[in-house]
Chain A
Amino acid sequence: MSELRVVVVDDHAMFRSGVRAELERLGTGRVQIVGEADDVPSAVQVIGEQRPDVVLLDVHMPGGGGPEVVRQLPATTYLALSVSDAAEDVIGVIRAGARGYVTKNISAAELIDAIERVAGGDAVFSPRLAGFVLDAFAGTIDVAQVDEDLDRLTEREREVMRLIARGYAYKEVAKELFISIKTVETHVSNVLRKLQLSSRHELTRWANDRRLI
């Protein structure tokens, strides 16, 4: 596999240099950082010039945040990174089109793994994102008939999400459910697609309900 070209977009210089140092130390031959940006306009410019395989994208950023970058250049592959626990924002960047979400305290080895995964067309769900997804879809079962069938998770997809939320890696999920890793990846990709396509109305309602708890 050839070296993956990565652009890091984050408004914290300290975080950018940290990621660069880690990826250079552990990711030689697998990933290479070809550019950095610290806000939306510069990100759009750097991504346009470099045409990277994967963009590491912070959720909160000057100029409209991560989702704005995805909206302007939707053809690129994005992996969202954040320290924030704000469920709506994480779901927001995924809905904008990012292929995955990991928290910033992820280890370098896991990060390289995640980058390769999204570059290969898979979705990357951390336990926390799986929890948000289950939360998001839990409240919408009643109104599912009103909307398209698309909005519901299948029983299998829900099981996969629950195992990921419980801290299982894809390999372990496959073993637990007696299915292949490829099938697990398909389920996760389907969940990602449903998340990106489900109507705004239901997610807003979910967000409102969350505040009431």
Chain B
Amino acid sequence: MTIVLVTTTVPAYRRASRPADRRVVGGVAAGLADHLAVPVVWVRIGFIVATWFNGAGILAYLLLWRFLPLATPDDAPGVESATRAGLRGSDRLGRREIAQTVAIGAVGLGVFTLLSVVGRGPSSHVLVPVLVGVVGIALVWRQLDDAAWNSWLRQTSGPGHVGRIAAGVALVGLAAIFVMSEGRGWSATLDLVAAVAVAMIGLVLILGPWISSLWHDLGEERRQRIRSQERADMAAHLHDSVLQTLALLQKNAHDPAAVATLARRQERELRDWLYGDEAPAGSTLVAGLRAEAGDVETAHQVPVELVAVGDAPMSSDVAALVRAAREAMVNAAKHAGVGRIDVYSEVAGASAEVFVRDRGVGFDPDQIPDDRQGIRGSMVERMRRHGGDTRIKSTPGEGTEVVLTMPLRETTTQEESREA
């Protein structure tokens, strides 16, 4: 059986997007706030203030709306299915946030009107049609964001199709009436050009987003298809492995340790698939530790609990850290005589730390048994060669903790980015 790993390429820079689950109008403000790491209220106020200057805020908002992609949350399968089944509770937009936005908008509109009355802003002849137009565009675009409307617009028959044609015809008709109601002559030609331009703009406004979203949809659909195929493969694979485990459990029913190990291994597999970060094994520190923890657990029938904060890409230093951590785990599993090993890894700033802890028999660090000396020597030596540090704390009767510290050198990250 061949397993094809499809890895998505992650761009080196962060791209702004509009979060579908947190938008009030188009999600532009929420997306910008995430991207710039400022509270969303500031962004909203910024847009309103910018609008006072010849409507720059509205223009900027519409442009960003057009060009920022809509981001629907891409959750792990377990989370996604829980969301679909309504087990998580919807992440509804707070009423307070909506009220706040409306309030900011109202104040902004008030100031805007005041400015135009005083005569320093655009006159109300321009203001009212522009506002009406903007609201219309916002309505159309907001609905275009939703998949249901996309499919509605893509119909080439039925009421949706008729509605679209009607809208187009109405616009063209409007333009024609505009021409006919004007007097003949040189100005009529000018008016005709203007009318055609108006009609074109109307058509582009209504159909433009649809055309571009059509392109986007095609790509999205292809990705969805690949993803669902991947999931079908995975489901089949898990199905097999779960069935295998259940069969093994029945066979080993008399051996509690074996049953527990089998159950834990199966649990880990399912967990990785349902809630995992999908980092391929061996690509990062945490992925490496997870694989080693699983190995030790299976080989020595001792549960290993891994908690990780932060992660670092794999490098020769990180690989040495993972191997040293493995030796510490194996040591604990072999000698401590305990029912559980706790492993904690943390990447903070320029160094990575791994703690391997057991509550076993422990030993006196001054009198190390010979059989441990070798393993310890190689663990300590290996860490030192890569510039790392090993500390062993142990008290007889209270357990042992191995603390591994490894500086993460700048060069490793540069190498990584060059490879990527």
Residues of A within 8 A of B (CB): 11, 59-68, 84-86, 88-89, 92, 105, 127-128, 130-131, 134-135, 138, 142-143, 146-147, 162, 165-168, 199-201, 204-205, 208, 211-213
Complexed CA–CA distance, A66 and B344 (Å): 28
Interface string of B64-83 (1 = CB under 8 A from A): 00000000001110110010
Shortest 5 CB-CB distances between A and B: which pairs?
Answer: A167-B342, A64-B89, A60-B87, A131-B307, A85-B275
B39 and A63 form a contact (CB under 8 A): no
Chain B interface residue count, Cβ-Cβ cutoff 8 angstroms: 42
Residue B420, interface by CB 8 Å: no
The answer to whether A127 and B87 touch across the interface, beta carbons within 8 angstroms, is no
Which of chain A's residues have a CB closer than 8 A to the CB of B308? Answer: 131
Does the CB pair B275–A62 fall under 8 Å? no
Whether B74 lies near A211 (C-beta < 8 A) is yes
Q: A163 to B274, alpha carbons, bound, how many Å?
A: 28
- Other-chain residue from A60, A85, A131, A200 in contact with B271 (beta carbon distance below 8 A): A85
Which residue of the partner chain, among B37, B88, B355, B357, contacts A142 with CB atoms under 8 Å?
Answer: B37
CB contacts (< 8 Å) of B90 on chain A: these are: 64
Partner pick for A146 among B39, B79, B357, CB 8 A cutoff: B39
Question: Which residue of the partner chain, among B39, B89, B277, contacts A201 with CB atoms under 8 Å?
Answer: B39
Taken together as a complex, chains A and B put the C-alpha atoms of A198 and B60 apart, in Å, by: 31
A85-B275, A131-B307 given; A61·B355 CB < 8 A: no
Residues of B within 8 A of A64 (CB): 86, 88-90
Task: Say whether chain A's binding surface is mostly helix, strand, loop, or mixed.
Answer: helix
Q: Which B residues touch A68, using CB under 8 A?
A: 89
Contacting pair A127 B305 (CB below 8 A): yes
Given the known interface contacts A85-B275, A89-B88, A201-B33, the answer about A134 and B346 at a Cβ–Cβ threshold of 8 Å is: yes
The contact sample of 9 A-B pairs, CB cut-off 8 A, is: A60-B82, A64-B88, A64-B90, A86-B75, A92-B89, A134-B309, A162-B346, A204-B22, A208-B34
Could you tell me if B34 and A204 are in contact, using CB atoms closer than 8 angstroms?
yes
Q: Residue B89 contacts which of A11, A65, A85, A199 (CB distance < 8 angstroms)?
A: A65
Q: Is the CB of A89 within 8 A of B79?
A: yes
| Given A60-B88, A86-B82, A165-B346, 10 other A-B residues pairs in contact with their CB atoms under 8 A | A60-B87, A64-B86, A68-B89, A127-B344, A130-B307, A138-B348, A147-B39, A165-B307, A201-B39, A205-B34
Q: Please encode chain B, from 354 to 368, with 1 for each CB lying within 8 Å of some chain A CB and 0 for all others.
A: 010100000000000
Instruction: Give the CA-CA distance A130 to B346 in the complex, in Å.
Output: 12
